[in-house]
Amino acid sequence: MTIRFRLNTISTLVCLLSVSLWAQASPGDIAKQGLGDDVAPCSSCHGAHGQGNKAAGFPRLAGLGAPYLEAQLNDFASGARENAVMKPIANALSADQRRAMARYYSQLRSEPSQASTGQSENPPETGARLAEHGRWADDIPACVQCHGPAGVGVGEHFPALAGQPAAYLEGQLRAWRNGKRPGGPMGLMASIAAKLDESDIKPVAQYFAAQSPTSAKGGGS
Amino acid sequence: MSSRIPLLTVAVSFAMLAAVIFWVGTRDQSTPTQAPAKTANAAPADRDDTTESATKSEDVAVSGNAASEKSERLGDAAPPATASAAADFAPPARNEIPDDEFGAMVRKGRDIFTDTQTHAGRFVGNDLQCANCHLDEGRRPDSAPLWAAWAMYPAYRGKNKHVNDFAERIQGCFRYSMNGTPPPRGDEVLVALESYAYWLASGAPVAKDLAGRGYPELDAPEQPPSFSRGKQVFADHCALCHGSDGQGQRAADGSLAFPPLWGPRSYNWGAGMHRVNTAAGFIKANMPLGAATLSDQQAWDVAQFIDSQERPQDPRFTGSVSETAKQYHGEHSMYGKTVNGVVLGQDAPPSGTTANVNQK
Domains B47-71+217-360 and B88-213 share a fold: yes
Enumerate the residues of chain A whose CB falls inside 8 A of the CB of residue B251: 148-149, 152-154, 220
User: Which has more pLDDT, B181 or B43?
Assistant: B181
> If pLDDT is split at 50, 70 and 90, which confidence band does A4 have?
low
Distance from CA of B321 to the nearest CA of A (A): 35
A173-221 per-position pLDDT tens digit: 999 999 999 999 999 999 999 999 999 999 999 999 999 876 544 333 3
- The pLDDT value recorded for residue A109 is 83
Measured between CA atoms, the residue of chain B closest to residue A83 is B22
Distance from CA of B133 to the nearest CA of A (A): 14
- The pLDDT value recorded for residue A38 is 84
Distance from CA of A137 to the nearest CA of B (A): 4
Task: Determine phi and psi for B248, rounding to 5 degrees.
Answer: 80, 180
Domains within chain A, CATH numbers bracketed: 125-215 (1.10.760.10)
Enumerate the residues of chain B whose CB falls inside 8 A of the CB of residue A170: 27
B6-46 per-position pLDDT tens digit: 444 444 444 444 443 444 333 333 333 333 333 322 233 23
The answer to whether residue B44 neighbours chain A at the CB level (below 8 Å) is no
- The pLDDT value recorded for residue B26 is 37
Chain-chain contact of A171 with B237 (C-beta, under 8 angstroms): no
The answer to whether residue B338 neighbours chain A at the CB level (below 8 Å) is no
Residue B13 is which amino acid? S
Residue B290 has pLDDT above 50, yes or no: yes
Distance from CA of A9 to the nearest CA of B (A): 24
Average pLDDT, chain B: 80
Please name the member of B36, B240, B252 whose beta carbon is closest to the beta carbon of A218.
B252
Residue A88 has pLDDT above 70, yes or no: yes
B88-112 per-position pLDDT tens digit: 799 999 999 999 999 999 999 999 9
Reported pTM: 0.84
B214-228 per-position pLDDT tens digit: 999 999 999 999 999
Enumerate the residues of chain A whose CB falls inside 8 A of the CB of residue B29: 174, 178
Please name the member of A83, A186, A198 whose beta carbon is closest to the beta carbon of B291.
A186
Contacts of B9 (CB under 8 A, 6+ apart): none
- The pLDDT value recorded for residue A76 is 98
Distance from CA of A15 to the nearest CA of B (A): 18
B235-252 per-position pLDDT tens digit: 999 999 999 999 999 999
**Class assignment of domain B47-71+217-360?**
mainly alpha
Please name the member of A19, A85, A218 whose beta carbon is closest to the beta carbon of B18.
A85
Enumerate the residues of chain B whose CB falls inside 8 A of the CB of residue A71: none
Task: Determine phi and psi for B29, rounding to 5 degrees.
Answer: -80, 75
- The pLDDT value recorded for residue B105 is 98
Residue among A61, A65, A56, A161 at smallest CA distance from A114: A56
Enumerate the residues of chain B whose CB falls inside 8 A of the CB of residue A180: 26
Q: Where are the domains of chain B?
A: 47-71+217-360, 88-213
Q: Name the B residues in 286-315 with CB < 8 Å from any A CB.
A: 288-292
Enumerate the residues of chain A whose CB falls inside 8 A of the CB of residue B137: 133
Measured between CA atoms, the residue of chain B closest to residue A161 is B252
Q: Which long-range contacts (CB under 8 A, 24 or more apart) does A39-48 make?
A: A39/A89, A39/A92, A39/A93, A40/A89, A40/B8, A40/B11, A40/B12, A40/B15, A41/B8, A41/B12, A42/A89, A42/A101, A42/A105, A44/B8, A44/B12, A45/A85, A45/B12, A45/B15, A45/B16, A45/B19, A46/A105, A47/A113
Residue among A150, A157, A152, A154 at smallest CA distance from A131: A150
The mean pLDDT of B283-309, rounded to a whole number, is 97
Distance from CA of A135 to the nearest CA of B (A): 7
Q: Name the B residues in 124-143 with CB < 8 Å from any A CB.
A: 135-137, 139-140
The answer to whether residue B240 neighbours chain A at the CB level (below 8 Å) is yes
User: Which has more pLDDT, A123 or B97?
Assistant: B97
The answer to whether residue B239 neighbours chain A at the CB level (below 8 Å) is no
Q: Name the B residues in 246-275 with CB < 8 Å from any A CB.
A: 249-255, 257-258
- CA-to-CA distance for A202 and A169, rounded, in angstroms? 9
Q: Name the B residues in 80-109 with CB < 8 Å from any A CB.
A: 80-84, 94
Chain-chain contact of A137 with B77 (C-beta, under 8 angstroms): yes
Q: Please name the residue ranges forming H helices in B201-257.
A: 227-237, 239-242
- The pLDDT value recorded for residue B191 is 98
- The pLDDT value recorded for residue B69 is 29
Residue among B323, B249, B155 at smallest CA distance from A156: B249
> If pLDDT is split at 50, 70 and 90, which confidence band does A25 have?
confident
CB B88 within 8 A of CB B210: yes
Please name the member of A153, A171, A195 whose beta carbon is closest to the beta carbon of B23.
A171
Enumerate the residues of chain A whose CB falls inside 8 A of the CB of residue B241: 146
Measured between CA atoms, the residue of chain B closest to residue A175 is B26
- The pLDDT value recorded for residue B18 is 45
- ipTM > 0.95, yes or no: no
The answer to whether residue B23 neighbours chain A at the CB level (below 8 Å) is yes
Is domain B88-213 given the CATH code 3.40.50.2300 in the classification?
Answer: no
The answer to whether residue B79 neighbours chain A at the CB level (below 8 Å) is yes
- CA-to-CA distance for B236 and B239, rounded, in angstroms? 7
Enumerate the residues of chain A whose CB falls inside 8 A of the CB of residue B254: 217, 220
Enumerate the residues of chain A whose CB falls inside 8 A of the CB of residue B257: 145-146, 148, 154-155, 158
- CA-to-CA distance for A57 and A169, rounded, in angstroms? 9
- The pLDDT value recorded for residue B87 is 59
- The pLDDT value recorded for residue B354 is 54
B316-330 per-position pLDDT tens digit: 999 999 999 999 999
- The pLDDT value recorded for residue B149 is 95
Distance from CA of A12 to the nearest CA of B (A): 21
